[in-house]
Amino acid sequence: MCGIVGYVGWREAETVIVAGLKRMEYRGYDSAGIAVVTADGVVSRKKAGKLVNLETELVEHPLASSHQGIGHTRWATHGGPTDENAHPHLGRTGRVALVHNGIIENFAQLRAELVADGVEFASDTDSEAVAHLLEREVLDGHGLTEAMRRTVGRLEGSFTLVAIDAQCPDTVVAARRSSPLVVGVGDKEMFLASDVASFIEHTREAIELGQDQIVEITPDSVAVTTFDAEEAPVRPYHIDWDLSAAEKGGYDWFMRKEIFEQPKAVSDTLLGRIGADRLLVLDEMRIDVAHLRSIDSIIVVACGTAYHAGLIAKYAIEHWTRIPVEVELASEFRYRDPIVTSRTLVVTISQSGETADTLMAVRHAREQRAKVVSICNTNGATIPRESDAVIYTHAGPEIGVASTKGFTTQLIACYLLGLYLAQIRDAKFGDEIASLVRELEALPAKMDEVLDDLGTTLALARDLMDCSVVLFLGRHVGYPVALEGALKLKEISYMHAEGFAAGELKHGPIALVEEGLPVFIVVPPRGRDQLHDKVVSNIQEVRARGARTIVLAERDDAEAERFADVFLPLPTVPTLFQPVLAILPLQEFACEVATLKGHDVDQPRNLAKSVTVE
């Protein structure tokens, strides 16, 4: 959630900061602001609503030239989305300005202490209390970095803090605990941001920050220390995508662009992980093979779309390895006293690598001595850093809030993990694994086939855009696809949509079926004859009650097509791989419906790309 930008260097700070905030609009926000150090001290502008409101304010009330500043897009937690609650927040004298991501859990006590000390608050936020504490330390004679260190020692909760001091030229200081922050290293300039997208226009060299670290940047230097004032190692890395990857490239929405980028993203995620013998090589699996052979259970932990990928992973991993797999919502995992031992493998899935609930699950699992493998798209993120092993997806930047290529590449990573475990545990013969790997390698071309034939899907969106309810049905791996298809439609079109296991139809959901109700049904390949036939029976059940049936099935499945009012053909693949293809028309359907309704597809209401608070 939220976006932070800090800058010091030779460019105009306002230009850099506003452009950086624009590149992070996808994260979700309801107000924006900026503060810079000028010859007259710290000057701030902030406005509720979209970033354009701030830009208008900056035109009407221009800032003086500055080469040092901070900016923020806020997603409201404490206090509503108002001008007063927008960041940055200033200290009592206006000498210090601060922006904050996260939640300060003990802010009520801190606020009471400050009010008793005569401080008057201008906002309802938890963040303003930190600004006053920081300025108090600065006024007591401490430098900005030491003042930050003393301040964070008073705080409970999760936070990224970035601050400037009117009397500390050419310096920006930040602190990080359980909330994302990365340093961009340029030529005579430095950047701080929640996301590398904000500075990718200027540099592709970055430094990842660890937990409980403070960083001080000047145009020529980066100094990283711990909250305990110990020197911390600097861990640089190179960003392997450029500005063009974060641009729309002629598409109307980032989401639409990302839907069509999925074949390449899947290819990139497979790249370098398949040997000449068609067996798997996972260099990032830093867990001893002997330990992996000894595990007796797997728990997949994730949220939202990643949770649906985990549900599909359960079918695949259990089938290939015969290891029992549970799939947990990260927000529930540690609160139900899960049974986790040293022989449990915990697999976490998070596109950003900063999802707060998932991060807490990682820490809980490791406290129980379990090994953790993370599946993540973001190099240097907290979750992979705190895990024992990682499988990076190579989806590139995903700007649309509703995940598309994040989902399909997470599926590929789950398949790679399952087959790798089967390979090292001798649960599958080498030729069986090689055959499945060849099927994986064939998926991008088959995804292209589906994406080249979306005319029926687009027409369907026009027909159904005014429906009040849409249902999705599936069995086996088709059930999580139904859940994900419904989620996509809810997220961006704001239509009521539900996904159900088709076998549960007669246990309640069929009561919802009425004349004309659109029902999407994902039909498994005919290689699973019994499963296939049961889903075809489900199609007939809802059709007999007046439903409009939209059927996704193999392109030459005449039996499924016979009972379809609308037929969406899919290339033939093994059953476990069908979700990678079946989800594509459902993503495009949701995108087109939302577009026709006039919604902001990339930034749906009330949602943020990365949920970094519990």
Express each pLDDT in 1-57 by its tens digit: 578 999 999 999 999 999 999 888 766 678 999 999 999 999 999 999 889 999 999
Tokens 């899947």 -> residue: 266
Same structural domain for residues 509 and 420?
no
List, by residue number, the catalytic residues: 2, 609
The domain boundary residue, chosen from 202, 217, 246 = 246
* Cβ-contact 403, 375 below 8 angstroms: no
> Residue 607 domain-assigned?
no
> Residue 612 domain-assigned?
no
The H-or-E segment that residue 102 falls in is strand 96-104
Compute the average pLDDT of residues 115-142.
Answer: 94
CA distance 104 to 126: 6
Per-state percent for the chain, helix, strand, coil, to nearest 5: 40, 25, 35
Tokens 């009520």 -> residue: 108
CA distance 402 to 257: 12
User: Whats the size of the chain, residue-wise?
Assistant: 614
Same structural domain for residues 406 and 494?
no
pLDDT beyond 70 at 350: yes
> Residue 610 domain-assigned?
no
Within 13 Å of residue 601, how many CA atoms lie on the same side as its CB? 27
pTM: 0.76
- Which stretch, 331-335, 360-364, 411-415, 533-537, has highest mean pLDDT? 411-415
CA distance 578 to 62: 55
Tokens 């602001």 -> residue: 33
- CB-based burial of residue 341 (10 Å sphere; 0-12 exposed, 13-18 middle, 19+ buried)? exposed
Q: CATH code at 197?
A: 3.60.20.10
How large a percentage of the chain has pLDDT more than 90? 74
The H-or-E segment that residue 537 falls in is helix 529-544
> Residue 604 domain-assigned?
no
The domain boundary residue, chosen from 395, 419, 450 = 450
Sign of CA dihedral 309, 311, 316, 321: positive
334 against 243, higher pLDDT: 334
Same structural domain for residues 410 and 303?
yes
For the CA atoms of 584, 587, 588, 590, the dihedral, rounded to the nearest 10 degrees, stands at: 160
pLDDT beyond 70 at 353: yes
Compute the average pLDDT of residues 467-482.
Answer: 96
> Residue 264 domain-assigned?
yes
Same structural domain for residues 207 and 89?
yes
The domain boundary residue, chosen from 450, 467, 501 = 450
Express each pLDDT in 287-319 by its tens digit: 999 999 999 999 999 999 999 999 999 999 999
Q: Residue 239 has what pLDDT?
A: 84
CA distance 73 to 49: 10
**Cα 75 to chain centroid, rounded:** 15
Same structural domain for residues 157 and 287?
no
How many domains does the chain divide into?
Answer: 3
Same structural domain for residues 241 and 306?
no
> Residue 363 domain-assigned?
yes
* Cβ-contact 480, 303 below 8 angstroms: no
Phi/psi at 163 (5° precision):
-140, 155
Compute the average pLDDT of residues 442-452.
Answer: 96
Domain that holds residue 362: 254-450
- Written as six digits, the tokens of 378 are 């973001």
Same structural domain for residues 328 and 425?
yes
CA distance 477 to 241: 32
Q: How many CB atoms lie within 10 A of CB 572?
A: 14
Going by pLDDT thresholds of 50, 70 and 90, the confidence category of residue 608 is low
Q: CATH code at 564?
A: 3.40.50.10490
Q: Residue 524 has what pLDDT?
A: 94
Same structural domain for residues 292 and 227?
no
Same structural domain for residues 41 and 127?
yes
Going by pLDDT thresholds of 50, 70 and 90, the confidence category of residue 243 is low
Same structural domain for residues 364 and 446?
yes
Q: Which of 203, 165, 162 is nearest to 41 (CA)?
A: 165
pLDDT beyond 60 at 614: no
> Residue 263 domain-assigned?
yes
Same structural domain for residues 319 and 464?
no
> Residue 611 domain-assigned?
no
pLDDT beyond 70 at 431: yes
CA distance 547 to 250: 37
Same structural domain for residues 67 and 209?
yes
pLDDT beyond 90 at 158: no
Q: Residue 244 has what pLDDT?
A: 66
* Cβ-contact 34, 18 below 8 angstroms: yes
